[in-house]
C-alpha cells in the first residue's frame, strides 16, 4: 500500500485499481482541488478503478465542485464510509445533486463492508 499526501487529502493506493481517499478536516473542496484529485487518480490508478471515500473528517464542497467530484468515466464504483449523521446527510445531498450522472455508489458504516463490496466485482 502506498500513501500520497495532497494539499487537501491523503490517498492510499490499496490495489492498482483501488484507492482510499481521506479528505483533511475542515477542507472546502473547490474545482481546482477536484481537478488535482482527478489528475492524481488518472495518473496513479489503472482504469477502470474503484474508490473508497473515508469520511472520517468533516469537510465540504463548493457547489461547482459538487457537480464534478465523481464525474470521471474511469470510476466504476464508489463506496463511501460514513460514521456520523452529518457525513451521511452531506453524502446523500451530493448523490442527489448528481443523480443524473448514474454513479455506482453505496454508503457503508464500516470500512470492511465497503471493501467487501468494492472487491466483490
The pLDDT tens digits for 90-115 are 999 998 988 888 899 999 999 999 99
The predicted structure's pLDDT at residue 121: 56
Is the pLDDT at 26 greater than 90? The verdict is yes
Task: Quote the domain boundaries for residue 110.
Answer: 2-119
The DSSP bridge pattern shows strands 60-61 and 28-29 to be: parallel
- Omega prior to 48 cis, within 30 of 0: yes
- Mean pLDDT in residue range 13-41: 97
Which pLDDT band holds residue 25 (cuts at 50, 70, 90)? very high
Predicted confidence (pLDDT) at residue 3 exceeds the cutoff of 60: yes
Mean pLDDT of 27-46: 97
Start-to-end CA distance of the chain, whole Å, equals 20
Write the CATH number for 54. 3.30.750
- Residue 86 exposure: Cα atoms within 13 Å on the Cβ side: 6
Closest CA to 73 of 99, 102, 93: 102
Give me the pLDDT at residue 100, please: 83
Q: What digits encode the pLDDT tens for the residues 48-93?
A: 999 999 999 999 999 999 999 989 999 999 999 999 998 999 999 9
Name the CA radius of gyration of the chain, rounded: 13
Mean pLDDT value across the chain: 94
| Total domains present in the chain | 1
Amino acid at each position: 500500500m502506498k500513501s500520497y499526501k495532497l494539499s487537501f487529502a491523503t490517498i492510499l493506493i490499496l490495489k492498482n485499481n483501488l484507492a482510499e481517499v481521506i479528505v483533511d478536516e475542515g477542507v472546502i473542496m473547490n474545482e481546482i482541488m477536484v481537478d488535482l484529485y482527478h489528475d492524481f487518480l488518472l495518473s496513479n490508478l489503472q482504469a477502470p478503478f474503484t474508490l473508497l471515500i473515508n469520511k472520517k473528517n468533516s469537510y465540504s464542497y463548493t457547489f461547482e465542485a459538487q457537480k464534478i467530484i465523481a464525474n470521471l468515466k474511469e470510476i466504476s464504483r464508489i463506496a463511501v464510509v460514513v460514521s456520523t449523521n452529518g457525513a451521511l446527510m452531506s453524502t446523500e445531498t451530493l448523490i442527489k445533486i448528481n443523480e443524473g450522472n448514474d454513479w455506482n455508489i453505496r454508503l457503508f458504516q464500516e470500512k470492511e463492508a465497503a471493501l467487501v463490496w468494492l472487491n466483490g466485482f
